[in-house]
Chain A
Amino acid sequence: MHQTPLDAQHRALGARMIPFAGWEMPVQYAGIVQEHQAVRTAAGLFDLSHMGELWIRGPGAAAALDAALVTAPSRLKDGRAHYSMICAPDGSVMDDLIVYRTAAEEFLVVANASNREVVAAALAERLAGHDATLDDASLRTALIAIQGPRAVELLQAHTDIDLSPLKYYSIAAGQVCKRAALIARTGYTGEDGFEVYLAWDDAARIWNHLLEEGKAAGLVPAGLGARDTLRLEAGMPLYGQELDRETTPFEAGLGRVVKFDKDGDFVGRAALEAVKDAPAKVLVGLRLTGRGIARTGYPVYLPAAAEAVGRVTSGTASPTLGHPIAMAFVPAELAAPDTALEVGIRADRVPAVVIPMPFYRRPT
C-alpha cells in the first residue's frame, strides 16, 4: 500500500484512512458534510498525491497523443489543458484524463490512481514509432488541490504567480511557499480552485503552511468522501462508476470530448464512429422523490414494471441540495428530463425523475 507524502499530516488531523486504489487515503476529517459545505462556501484542501502524473515529451509528443487519445492535444496552446479520455480499440474508456500542454514539446497527462499503470502501459505502447518519451513521475509528484470560492485569495498569498489572469483549464509554473510548483486552475468539485503539482518532499511543508494560514478564512482539510459528493453534485463522472471498459464516451454523455475532426487515426476511432449516434445506454441524472438513497448498482425500473431497465452508477444525499441525487444508465428512450422512473432500494421501489445535470452549478 502506498502512502502519500502527507500521511502523517492526515493522521495528526484525525482523518479516517481507507485503502483506495492501492493508496492509504483520508476519506474524511471532521465529517463529509462539513467538508463539503466548506468547499462550497469557503475552501477545502485535498491531498491528491495518489493521482498519476505522466510526462510525454519530444518533437513527436503532440502527434503521438493525438493518436493515443480521443482528443487533439496538438491543438492546445502552451499553458492550456483539456479533459480527455484514453479508449481501447473497442471504444470503451480505459481512463479519463486531464492533458496539460506545458511547452511546445511537453505534455502532462494526469490519470486516475486506479488506472495509472494501465494508462502508462497503453501510452508507452502507443508512443512507439513517434519521436516522444514517457516519464511516469507519479511517485515523485505530490498534488494538493485547493478548491472553493476563497481558493484564489488563499493561494495567492503564497505564490509568485498572478492567479487572476490564469484561466480555467490553464497551468503555470512558479513558486508556492517558495518551492517550485505547477499551478493549474482545474478541479473536481464544481467550484473555482487550483491543483498544485509539487515535488514529493515539499508537500508536507506546503500543506501545513496553507492550512495554518487559511484556517481563519474557513479553509479545512477535505477527504475523498467530500470529493465524491462534490463531484457528483457537479455532474462529473468517476472512473469505475460512470466510466469503465463497458462504457463509451457517448454513453457517458461525453461525446463532445471525442474529436473526430482531427487528422489521422486514433485508438477507438472506428468503434466510436459506429456507435456515436446510437448509444446502447445513456447516463442520466436522477432526483429521488421518495425516501431513500440510490447507491451504486441499484436497479432502475419503469414504474410498476418487473424488469430493471437500468442501474445506478453513483448516488448520495446531496449536501447542497438537501435531497437524494443519483446518476444512472438507462436506455436512450428513457433519458429525457421529467421521465418518471423507480429505483429499487432493498425491498422498496422509490420514485425518481430524470433531471438535467449538473445537479449543482456554482453561482456566478
Chain B
Amino acid sequence: MAYPDDCKYSDEHEWIRVEDGVATIGITAYAAEQVGDIVFVEVPAVGTTLTATQPFGVIESVKAVSELFAPASGKVVEMNGALADAPETVAEDPHGAGWLVKIALSDPSELDRLKDAAAYQAMIDAA
C-alpha cells in the first residue's frame, strides 16, 4: 500500500496525523501485518500523558504481546472505544477506523524528528 502523505511515521511503526491541533495515532499497515491476528488492544485513558518514544499501550495477537510506542508527547483527549469490542479493526483498517488514541501535542516540534511517508516506505523496504 501507499502510506498516506499527511502523516508522519516513527521507527516503531506508529503513524501520527495532526488536524486542528489534535494528533491521531495508530499503527502502520506494516506493523499490523507483522503483529498478526490482533485479539486485544490496550490504550491509555483520556487524561493520560504520553511521552515520545515511551511505551503507552499494548497490542496482543494470538501469538504475542507487542508494545505501542508514542510517536510524540501529549495528553490523551480521546481513545478509540470501538477497539474494545472489535480489536481486529486495527488490522483491517490500520490507517483509518483502527486508530488508537488522539492526543493534544505538548511539543509539536517533536514531529520534525519523525519520517515522512517516503522515508518510512524506504525503511520498511529495507527491512
Residues of A within 8 A of B (CB): 27-28, 31-34, 36, 225, 228-229, 291-293, 295, 316-317, 319, 346
Contacts and interface: CB of A to CB of B under 8 A. Distances in A.
B63 A225 contact: yes
B40 A293 contact: yes
B36 interface: yes
Interface of B: 36-37, 39-40, 42, 58, 60-65, 84
B40 A32 contact: no
A27 B63 contact: yes
A316 B58 contact: no
B58 A346 contact: yes
Contacts of A291: 40, 84
A145 B64 CA distance: 24
B65 A295 contact: yes
B63 A292 contact: no
A32 B63 contact: yes
B36 A317 contact: no
A28 B37 CA distance: 11
Contacts of B64: 295
B40 A316 contact: no
A63 B61 CA distance: 47
Nearest to A348: B42
Nearest to A224: B63
A28 B39 contact: no
B62 A229 contact: yes
B58 A32 contact: no
A225 B62 contact: yes
Given A32-B37, A225-B36, A293-B60, 13 more contacts: A28-B36, A28-B63, A32-B36, A32-B61, A32-B62, A225-B62, A292-B40, A292-B42, A293-B65, A295-B64, A316-B63, A317-B39, A317-B40
Contacts of B40: 291-293, 317
B42 to A, nearest CB: 7
A33 to B, nearest CB: 4
A228 B64 CA distance: 12
Contacts of A316: 62-63
Nearest to A319: B62
A293 B39 contact: yes
Contacts of A32: 36-37, 61-63
Nearest to A228: B63
A238 to B, nearest CB: 13
Among the interface residues A225, A317, A319, which one has the most CB atoms of the partner chain B within 10 A? A317
A72 B62 CA distance: 38
A229 B64 CA distance: 11
Contact of B36 (A31, A295, A346): A31
10 smallest beta-carbon distances between A and B, as pairs: A317-B39, A33-B37, A32-B62, A293-B60, A225-B63, A32-B37, A316-B62, A31-B37, A317-B62, A32-B63
A229 B36 CA distance: 14
Contacts of A295: 64-65
Contacts of B65: 293, 295
A295 B40 CA distance: 13
Contacts of B61: 32
A44 to B, nearest CB: 15
Contacts of B42: 292, 346
Contacts of A36: 62
Contacts of B84: 291
A49 to B, nearest CB: 21
Nearest to A318: B62
25 contacts: A28-B36, A28-B63, A31-B37, A32-B36, A32-B37, A32-B63, A33-B37, A33-B62, A225-B62, A225-B63, A228-B63, A229-B62, A292-B40, A293-B39, A293-B40, A293-B65, A295-B64, A295-B65, A316-B62, A316-B63, A317-B40, A317-B60, A319-B62, A346-B42, A346-B58
A151 to B, nearest CB: 22
**Most chain-B Cβ atoms within 10 A of its Cβ — which of A33, A34, A292, A319?**
A33
A32 B40 CA distance: 15
Nearest to B55: A346
Contacts of A317: 39-40, 60, 62
